[in-house]
Structure 1
Amino acid sequence: MNYRELYNSKLKTPSEAAQVVKSGDWVDFGCYQGFPTLFDEALAARKAELEDVKVRALLITKPLQIAEQDPDAEHFTYNSWHMIGYERKLSDRGLCKFIPMVFRNLPDYYRRFLTVNVAVMGVTPMDEHGYFNMSMSNSHARAVFDVADIIILEVNEKLPFVHGLENTIHISEVDMVIEGEHEGLTEFPSIVAGPVEEQIAESIVDRMTNGACIQLGVGGMPDAIGKLIAESELKDLGIHTELLVNAYLDMHKAGKITNLNKHDIMRGKSVFSIAHGTKELFDWVSDNPSMCCAPINYVNDLSVIGEIDNFVSINSCIAVDLFGQISAESAGTRHISGTGGQLDFLTAGFKNPRAQSFIALPSTYTDKKGNLHSNIKPTFTGGDIITDPRSQAYTMVTEYGIENLAGASVWERAEKLINLAHPDFREELIESAKKVNVWRQSNKR
Structure 2
Amino acid sequence: MDYSKEYTQKLVTADEAVKVIKSGDWVDYGWCTGTPDALDKALAKRTDELKDIKLRGGILLKVPAIFEREDAGEHFTWNSWHMSGIERKLIAKGCAFYAPLRYSELPRYYYDLADKDDVAMFQVAPMDKHGYFNFGPNASHMMAVCETSKKIIVEVNENMPRCLGGFENGIHISKVDLIVEGENPAIGEMGGGGAPTDVDTAVAKLIVEEIPNGACLQLGIGGMPNTVGSMIADSDLKDLGVHTEMYVDAFVDIAKAGKINGSKKNIDRFRQAYAFGCGTKKMYDYLDENPELLSAPVSYTNDIRSISALDNFISINNAVDLDLFGQINAESAGIKQISGAGGQLDFVLGAYLSNGGKSFICCSSTFKTKDGQVKSRIVPTLNPGSIVTDTRANTHYVVTEYGKVNLKGLSAWQRAEALISIAHPDFRDELIAEAEKLKIWRRSNK
Amino acid at match of 2:25: D
1:39 Cα deviation after fit: 1.0
Q: Aligned partners of 2:85, 2:242: CA distance in 1, in Å? A: 25
Amino acid at match of 2:3: Y
In structure 2, the residue matched to 1:167 is 169
Q: Deviation per CA, 1:127-166, whole angstroms, max 9, x where unpaired?
A: 1111110011111000011111111111111101110121
Q: Deviation per CA, 1:14-35, whole angstroms, max 9, x where unpaired?
A: 1111111111111111111111
| Residue pairs, 1:70-81, within 5 angstroms | 71-81=71-81
Q: Aligned partners of 2:338, 2:314: CA distance in 1, in Å? A: 25
Amino acid at match of 1:409: S
- State the secondary structure of the residue aligned to 1:365: strand
Amino acid at match of 1:20: V
In structure 2, the residue matched to 1:128 is 129
In structure 2, the residue matched to 1:404 is 406
In structure 2, the residue matched to 1:266 is 268
Amino acid at match of 1:29: Y
In structure 2, the residue matched to 1:99 is 99
1:71 Cα deviation after fit: 3.6
Q: Deviation per CA, 1:162-207, whole angstroms, max 9, x where unpaired?
A: 1012101111001111112132112233321100010000000001
| Residue pairs, 1:342-381, within 5 angstroms | 342-381=344-383
1:214–1:312 contact (8 Å) kept in structure 2? yes
Q: Deviation per CA, 1:230-277, whole angstroms, max 9, x where unpaired?
A: 1111011111001111111111121101011113x1100011111111
Amino acid at match of 2:21: V
1:71–1:95 contact (8 Å) kept in structure 2? no
| Residue pairs, 1:280-319, within 5 angstroms | 280-319=282-321
Q: Relative to 1, partners in 2 of residues 1:46 and 1:393: Cα closer, same or farther, differing over 3 Å?
A: same
In structure 1, the residue matched to 2:243 is 240
Q: Aligned partners of 1:14, 1:84: CA distance in 2, in Å? A: 26
Q: Aligned partners of 1:75, 1:86: CA distance in 2, in Å? A: 18
Please point out which of 193, 197, 202 is paired with 1:194.
Answer: 197
Moved over 4 A (4+): none
Q: TM-score when scaled to structure 2? A: 0.97
Q: Aligned partners of 2:19, 2:345: CA distance in 1, in Å? A: 40
Identical-pair percentage: 47
- State the secondary structure of the residue aligned to 1:389: coil
Structure 2: give runs of 5+ residues left out of the alignment: none
Q: Aligned partners of 2:82, 2:252: CA distance in 1, in Å? A: 24
- State the secondary structure of the residue aligned to 1:97: strand
| Residue pairs, 1:215-230, within 5 angstroms | 215-230=218-233
1:70–1:76 contact (8 Å) kept in structure 2? no
Q: Aligned partners of 2:370, 2:53: CA distance in 1, in Å? A: 38
Q: Aligned partners of 2:181, 2:82: CA distance in 1, in Å? A: 27
2:158–2:184 contact (8 Å) kept in structure 1? yes
In structure 1, the residue matched to 2:47 is 47
Q: Aligned partners of 2:72, 2:191: CA distance in 1, in Å? A: 33
1:347–1:392 contact (8 Å) kept in structure 2? yes
Q: TM-score when scaled to structure 1? A: 0.97
1:62–1:86 contact (8 Å) kept in structure 2? yes
1:70 Cα deviation after fit: 5.1
Question: Which deviates more, 132-141 or 345-354?
Answer: 345-354
Counterpart check, 1:90 vs 2:90:
yes
Q: Deviation per CA, 1:313-369, whole angstroms, max 9, x where unpaired?
A: 000010001111110000011111001110000111222231110000100001122
2:14–2:38 contact (8 Å) kept in structure 1? yes
| Cα RMSD after superposing both structures | 1.2
Amino acid at match of 2:243: H
1:123 Cα deviation after fit: 0.4
Counterpart check, 1:206 vs 2:209:
yes
Q: Aligned partners of 1:121, 1:189: CA distance in 2, in Å? A: 22
Q: Aligned partners of 1:328, 1:71: CA distance in 2, in Å? A: 32
In structure 2, the residue matched to 1:422 is 424
Q: Aligned partners of 2:162, 2:371: CA distance in 1, in Å? A: 47
1:224 Cα deviation after fit: 0.6
Structure 1: give runs of 5+ residues left out of the alignment: none
1:7 Cα deviation after fit: 1.1
2:61–2:190 contact (8 Å) kept in structure 1? no
In structure 1, the residue matched to 2:278 is 276
